[in-house]
Structure formats: structure tokens, C-alpha cells
Structure 1
Amino acid sequence: MSVGIVAAVVGVTSSFAVVLAGLQAAGADPAQAASGLVVLTLLQGAGTVWLSRRFRRPITIAWSTPGAALLASTGAVAGGWPAVVGAFLVTGVLIVLTGLWGRLGRLVGAIPAPLAQAMLAGVLLPLCLEPVRALAEQPLLVAPIVVVWVALQRFAPRWASPAAFALALVIVLVTAGGTDWLRLPVVTVTVPELSPAAVIGVALPLYVVTMASQNVPGVAVLSAAGYPTPWRHAMVLTGAGTVLGGPAGAHAVNLAAITAALPASAEAHPDPDRRWIAAQAAGWTHLLLAPAATTLAALVAAAPAGVIESVAGLALFGTFASALSSALSSAPSTTAADPVARIPAAATFLCAASGLAIAGIGGAFWGLVAGVALHLVLRPRSTVGPGSDRVRG
């Protein structure tokens, strides 16, 4: 059980700042962003408890950290926060359809993996630059956070981001003073609106990045540990949860990827048939942490400039490095002798990182469009094969 509790605490503390940054960048006010954090924590807890008990497997659900980073990179869209909420609902519907309609899953799987990873790396780059900027502007506050993070990367990588967050929390408590940050959990509902710009610029990239960076790796982690994933049930459950939570600000829930390895490992229990109990512990821990989400959001709002942004950026360094490496090296044809094969991924990365917006649609979408177009134009005829880049559910 202790492993499940650790997985939940690490998952929440290492990335909640990214979620808040993404929701607020997309147009949510502090109350709406806090509401989204509360509901996301509840959804991942309830989904984990149900799936792990239903199938007696260490299946865990998480919020989409890459999706939150995408929102932070995309920023506000035409139609404002209600349009973004409408995009969340569209994303949820697409995830449900992925579970029910195999052709949609195959269509997403046909997107070359390096392009999906390049889009993610481009989305993460601005956030990963924040610690660098903050270190120059607020060295006395940010340098200790960076030092703690680097030290634990050397000796206890799993705890690097939570420890950086804990130190940032101490800094915020010292500088904020008083107890105004203590808040009861509140859920704020927004009536969704459908906007073409939000559907194309938010919903579609959010769906792609959630599938490519969370659901597919989550399946791989469970498979490597010897557990088949109930794909249809997981997609329908997380998609429906995204639809239900969207009006409250919950952008997307999905299969856990990185933290999924903890409950599925021998650390959880020597007997593979008993490891689902660790997932249960993770789910219940999320449910217990959910009421504190509003207080965490208030502390973030009270933080000195650069402190929380640094924590968020540091938490994403590993994901950024992995995505960029995969983007430039995972395609079979991407070799030193074939530098042209890297061009579509490089174009996707640069467009996604540029912050450009055309017709109200952000750079993540246009980066994927540019990358796919260049991939189709530049790929060698001899490498064309049906399903070569597909991800099977």
C-alpha cells in the first residue's frame, strides 16, 4: 500500500503547478483553475479505484500533464474560457470514441511517433525555460529550489520534483504570511461553448498529446509488467470522466504513464496478483488529497514571481528531454546518413515552440500540420508501409 501512496503523492506534487499554469493560461480565473484541480484529483482517484478493483490489476489514472503544458503554451483562444471548456468536452468525446471505434485509434496511431513527440517537446520548451529566467530574476529564491532538485536527481530522482515543490511551499509560506491561503474546496461550473478555433487549436492537439504521451505509454508500462490493459474500458471511463469534469475545469484524465510503473512493480508486492492493492491505495490517496487542491491553488497565487513557475519547469525537464530525443531519433529512417528524416520533426518542434497563432489556432496544431506535410513529401518511397507508424490499442 505504501508504494501506491507514494505514487499518488509524487504524481500530484510534481505536476499540479503545471496543471494550474495551463488552466490559467487558457483563460481560467484562479477559482476556475482551483476547481479544475479539485475535480481532476477526484476523477483520477475514482477512476483508479474502480479500474484496479474491477480488473484486479495495478491500473492507475492520472491527469494529462502534457495536456496542461499544451494549454500553457496555447494560451487564450477566441471565445475565452467557455470555448476552452467546450474543447475539453470534445477531447473527452474523442477519447470515448477511441475506445469504441477502432478506426479512430488507428488514425491517431498513423501519426508518426516522432512528430507527436516533437509537438510535445515544442509545447514543453517555454515552460522548461522558466527556471532559467527565474534564476536570473530571483536568484535568492529560485537557486535553492534548483540546487535541491539537482541534488535529488543524483541520489533520489523520484523525489526531486516533490522536494523542489516542498521547498517552494516553504518559501511561499514564509513570504505570504497569515493564513489567507487556507481555502475550502469549491467547484465552479462553466457553461461550455463550441468554437471552431478552440476545437482545432485546443481539442485536437490535446487529444493527440494525451493519447501519444499518456495513454499509449501507459499501456506499454502495464504490458512490460505483464498486465494487459482493458483498453476499451479505460478509454470510455477516462473519456467520460473528461466530459463530466470539463465544465468544472478538468481538462483531461488518462492512463498514468510514469507513475504507473510503481504500483505495477515488485516494490508494490512480490505477488503480481496482489499489486492491484497498491493501485487502490493510490486511488484513495488522490481522493483524500482532492479537498486540499483549493488551498494549493491559493498558495500558488500567493507565491513570489518565478517560484512556482520554476517548480513546474523543473518537473517537466525529464519529459522534455525524452520527447525531444524520441522526436529526433525514434524513426527507423532517422540516422546520421539520412538527416532529411529529421526535418519534419524539427519543423513540428519549432512551430509548436514558436507561440504562433494563425486564425486563432495555436502553434501546436500548425506544427503537427507542418510536420505531417513534410513527412509525406520527404519520406523515401522504400519506407512506405501500411501501419509502420501505427500504435495499436
Structure 2
Amino acid sequence: MSTAPDVATHVPLAEPAHPAVGAATTLMADYRPGARFLGTPTRTLVGHGVHSEVPHDERPLGERVADTLARAKAQGHHAPVMGAIAFDHTAPAALAIPDRVRTAPPLAADPLIALPADAPEDVDWQLRQVPAPEEYGAGVAAAVERMWRGEFSKVVLARTLELTAPEPLDLPAMLQRLARRDPNGYTFALPTAPGRTLIGASPELLVSRHGTRVVANPLAGSTPRSDDLAEDVRRAAALLESAKDLHEHAVVVDAVHQALAPYCAELVVPAGPTLIRTATMWHLSTTVTGTLASPATSALDLGLALHPTPAVCGTPTPLAREVIRETEPFDRGFFTGMIGWGDASGDGEWVVTIRCAEAEERSLRLYAGAGVVAASEPEAETRETAAKFRTFLAAVGARL
């Protein structure tokens, strides 16, 4: 029988004054496919059932979400909207207000998160790379050539891994391994269609709003981790001094600054980046903080103003989108979109959908991308995407 807190609908996101050890990990252990799971550095949420779905129509997405939340509130239902928004935010979103929301403190605050997850079972995975590495490298080379001609300054190019198992997938076990490997990140498992789940562990907060406080944490510029401590430290130091990566990062931070400035009475942008790490990657990171000018601006409004940042699309955005459509032989769907939650007061957290996979019965489609600039080398960008795949490959016991 579950001991995780069951939250009344009038206070769906309230946190207990004295959280019990094991509250967050128990809530995670109770996850079953079809539920909506979000684990963030501020809280752990599980949504059950569907009270109301956000419709897909001609109105702007922010307006549709606000109207759905207002209708639910008028009916005495105060749960937040939870779900996923596609890379192309004009495409149908997978957003709903659950019937019931259960909450706990963040996974990282639960001492039991340090316990190891069960090892993946030995599965005979069938694996297909789309596009093949040499095709991906050719796409990078073609983009670099166009940048040297002055057509655009950056594009993010992605590739996928298609994995097929002989037996149905164990999504709760995957979620456990993803969360316990990187408990300080943003872990999610969200239904996007009947029988389909978007699951992953993203390191990147697009934007959060709590009251008038706004936080964005763009990541751009990265390098794979090493199992050798000395080499790992060397790679981190080299990333902090890399002219290519520092330039790429500065472009993204400037775009975030420009997008948030109209909504904020005050905005603080650090002069330079710091480093953050996941189990597989080092990233250049800048935490931008601000004070909201108007309480009418919701976290989702801010997220839609930011999305897509140059960290997942490129610069200038319209041309980068066109290059992505011409180069990538697949539809990104929810990859590099947004996942998160938002309530009727406007508070919420929206996360960049990376380090993720779309799961359906016996198949997984993994996604990874790399920021391509004029100084990029096809082999290096291909290696970077391979390193980013490792987050999810480790959760299923597969190798590239």
C-alpha cells in the first residue's frame, strides 16, 4: 500500500512541512504507464486520470491552456496542467489536467534516492541509427559549409536510435534508473498518445515562475564525461576555455535575455557560464534570474516566448528550422519541445525535452542533437550525440 502523500485538489502542489524519508521515492515507485510523472529540483508530481484535456484549435496555445485551467478552477478543481509540447508548438500538444495529483518533495532531497536501481535485464535489443553516422556527419558538413557562406550562424542537428525489444518495455524500471542516475535533473514519463509515453531525464530548465520570481537555465556547449577522474577534470576545464563552446553559449544566453526582458522588471544575467554535470556530460550553464513585471504573465507564456532557443534550434530561428526540416529524416515530435506543469495562478516549471525517448509497447526511439557552428567538425558532433544517447542507453542496458 502506498505511503506517498495524496494531495487534496484544492492544494495540489503543497509541500509537507516535515517530509517523510522515502516520500519521493515511494511516489516514483508507484508510477505506472498512463500516469503523468514529473520529478524536478523543487518537487515530485504524479497525475492520475484526466479531468480535462487542453484542446487543439486555432487559438494560441497559451490561451487554450489558460482557458482550460480557468474552467477547471470554476468547477472547484485546482490541479495543474501537466504534459508535453512539441518542438513545433503549433502541432497538437499532449497537455491535460489530471483528476488527482500526488506530490512529494524533490527526489534529490530523499535520502533513499541514493539506493541503486535494479540493473537492466539482459535484452536482445535490435538497434537502428537514423540517420546513419556517416549521413549525419554529411549533414553537419553541409551546414558548416553554408555557415561559412554567411547564410546562418548556428543550427542544432539531431539523430535518433530506434530500439526494438522482444518483450514489452518495463517503463517503471526505466524511470527508476533514469532518476537515480541523475536525481538533480528533470525526470519525466508522460503519455503523449494511447499506448505511447515520452520518458527521459533532461538537465535543462527552460523557465520557471514562482510568484514574481523567474528563473531560466540555458545550457549550450558540452563535452562527454570520462570514467577516468583526471581526464574528466581535464575535459571540464577545456570546456570552460573553449572559444567555440563559449561563443555558442553566449548566443543562447543573449537570446534568453532578449526574450525574457519584455516580461521582467529586473533581470540578472551572469557575466560568464559555470559548469554543470550529468552522469554522461559536462555542460556550460548560466542561471538567469528575474522579477516578473506583471502577474498576468504565466510560466507557460514565458516558455512559449523563449521556445525554441538557439540551444535546440539555431540562429536565426526561421532559417535554422528550415535547415532542420531539410536535413533531419524524421519528425522531432516532442523532442526539443517542452515538458512541465503550470497552475491557474501562473506558476510552473517548463523543461527542454532532451535526453528522452518515445516508448511504445516494445519499441523506443531515442533522440540526441548537437549544436553546429562554423567551427564544428562532423566527427566531433557525431561523437557528442553518441555520448548524449548514453543517458538513456544506460537505463535500458543497451550499447551503441
Q: Please classify the TM superposition score into its range, dividing by the shorter chain length.
A: under 0.3
| Bigger share in strand | 2
Q: TM-score, normalised by structure 2?
A: 0.26
Q: TM-score, normalised by structure 1?
A: 0.26
| Bigger share in helix | 1
Larger RCO of the pair (alpha carbons < 8 Å, separation 6+): 1
